[in-house]
Amino acid sequence: MTVLVDGHSLTIDDVVRVARGGERATIADECHESMHASHAVVEECLSRGEPVYGVNTGFGKFSSVAIGAHDLRRLQRNLVVSCCTGVGDPFPTDVVRAMLLLRANSLVGGRSGVRPVVVEGLLEMLNGGVHPLIPCQGSVGASGDLAPLAHMAIVLLGEGEAEFRGERLAGGEALRAIGLEPLVLEAKEGLSLANGTQAMTAVGSLAVHDARLLADTADLVGAMSAEALEAVPDAFDACLQESRPHPGQTLSARNLRHYLRGSELIDGAEHGRVQDAYALRCMPQVHGASRDAIEYAASVVAIEVDSVTDNPLVFSETGRVVSGGNFHGQPVALAMDVLGIAVAELADISERRTERLLNPALSGGLPAFLVREGGINDGLMVAQYTATALVSENKSLAHPASVDSIPTSANQEDHVSMGTISARQASDIVRNAQYVLAIEAICACQAIELRDHAPSPSVTRVWDLVREQVAFLETDRPLAPDIERVRRLVAEGSLLSAAGSTE
């Protein structure tokens, strides 16, 4: 399949398919005309000698410096080169692929003044598997993601470094490997490539996708723990949820009812309790609040995916070139901070359910740490330590980056978003939460096997899948490989697929 790039119909799912599924992307036919028209406006402004920011002026604090016609190409190349200041580990390949796609999608709509060859070059790198090495640190999120996007763009110029078929190559060598000539930038094209929010939006798109999957998985794994702990199902009653009809709460409760349907563990419980601790009883309310927050973040990212975020923008319909601040990452920054907090809460309550499964004072008759020969064996004791460490780490990562701003460019850029930091933190929180839910799933499967009654059909299928990867813990063994295997099941959506549809 091929994803069509037209500047207005790209979705988060499309981004994931290209970034992780290796699908190709191509420019919609009608976009060539709009890009030509946009570039013509830039050339017309130059012919009239009008000062246009970043076209025939310097950048940032140098915006008052006029640039002569003979230096316009040099100006654009210098911008890209000077912004290659990123540090730290390179972004993962899926993020880089998402960045290439999103930058092409932002430029293709004819608001940026670039020639079609610029967008074609980005997509040829994407489709050919040339992935620029882009350091993940160094962006303040306004004026956009300058450093990350410059490290992406410089490969298009035949410089920098890229990964191709598992090998690290010089940019020019990587281009030659796919038969692509280095690009010589025309007026505004360097600015259009480097100025935008595509690094934070790439990370955010993938994090939103993973967070949505995680919210569904939290309901499923929570249902497994509810069975193992013989929970009171009244807390998930539909009438109760209708009395407080938050969308996420309603959906989580519905999922829990579905996963628990037909459970002998629930139906045959004889503990005499009328209600459970909050980690069980309040799953719809806690999971649901996170769901609603994740959907807020998703709505922001969905808009950003199809937005034009460089500066200035070119309106060929009227011949105007308008300077503004669409590069500012504040919408994404706030959304990513909310996303991180929401997912951190899914991990937080999951760890509390794991504690109840392992603690003989709270588990309703299960052996301590879910091992038959305790003492000589520690069982799953230390797996909970890992969960608590990850939950604690998430608390630090969930501190909102968007509340900070350090002025740049001699105070010309006097409020910045830190949106790429927000997105990276949210992504890290999602990965940590995947591990926490994996640990809960392992513990719940162990506990269910120690009970006398059968779980629901949905949970039985999930238990079967986990047991294909992780054996029952009879005596102590290294648990790290087990946790990693189940985390992959969580991240890939395999647990949910095994459980079956909740519709």
Q: At what angle do helices 198-228 and 93-107 cross, to 10 degrees?
A: 130
Q: At what angle do helices 146-156 and 72-82 cross, to 10 degrees?
A: 120
Q: Residue 275: is its pLDDT beyond 90?
A: yes
**CATH 1.20.200.10 domain range(s) in the chain:** 204-313+325-499
Q: Check residue 110 and report its DSSP letter.
A: S
DSSP strand pairing (135-137 vs 24-27): unpaired
Angle made by CA atoms 381, 385, 388, in degrees to the nearest 5: 135
Q: What homologous superfamily does CATH list for 204-313+325-499?
A: Fumarase/aspartase (Central domain) (1.20.200.10)
- pLDDT tens for residues 13-22? 999 999 999 9
Q: Residue 207: is its pLDDT beyond 90?
A: yes
Give 330-373 as a DSSP string: HHHHHHHHHHHHHHHHHHHHHHHHHHHHH-TTTTTSPPGGG-SS
Pick the CATH number of 2-196 from 1.10.4160.10, 1.10.275.10, 3.40.50.2300, 3.40.50.300: 1.10.275.10
| pLDDT of the residue at 50 | 87
Q: Residue 55: is its pLDDT beyond 90?
A: no
Q: Residue 345: is its pLDDT beyond 90?
A: yes
Annotated catalytic residues are 53
**CATH 1.10.275.10 domain range(s) in the chain:** 2-196
- pLDDT tens for residues 386-442? 999 999 999 999 999 999 999 998 888 889 999 999 999 999 999 999 999 999 999
| pLDDT of the residue at 58 | 84
Predicted structure pTM score: 0.96
Q: Residue 133: is its pLDDT beyond 90?
A: yes
| pLDDT of the residue at 399 | 97
With contact defined as beta carbons under 8 Å apart, do 102 and 15 qualify?
yes
Q: Residue 63: is its pLDDT beyond 90?
A: no
Tokens of 496: 């949910």
Whole-angstrom distance, CA of residue 455 vs CA of residue 54: 64
| pLDDT of the residue at 319 | 92
Percent of the chain having pLDDT more than 90? 91
| pLDDT of the residue at 225 | 98
Residue 5: how many CA atoms within 13 Å on its side-chain side? 30
- pLDDT tens for residues 160-201? 999 999 999 999 999 999 999 999 999 999 999 999 999 999
With contact defined as beta carbons under 8 Å apart, do 377 and 476 qualify?
yes
Q: Residue 61: is its pLDDT beyond 90?
A: no
Three-state DSSP at 309 gives coil
> Backbone dihedral region of 273: left (phi > 0), alpha (psi from -120 to 50 degrees) or beta?
beta
3-state helix, strand, coil in the chain (%, to 5): 60, 10, 35
Residue with tokens 């600015």: 191
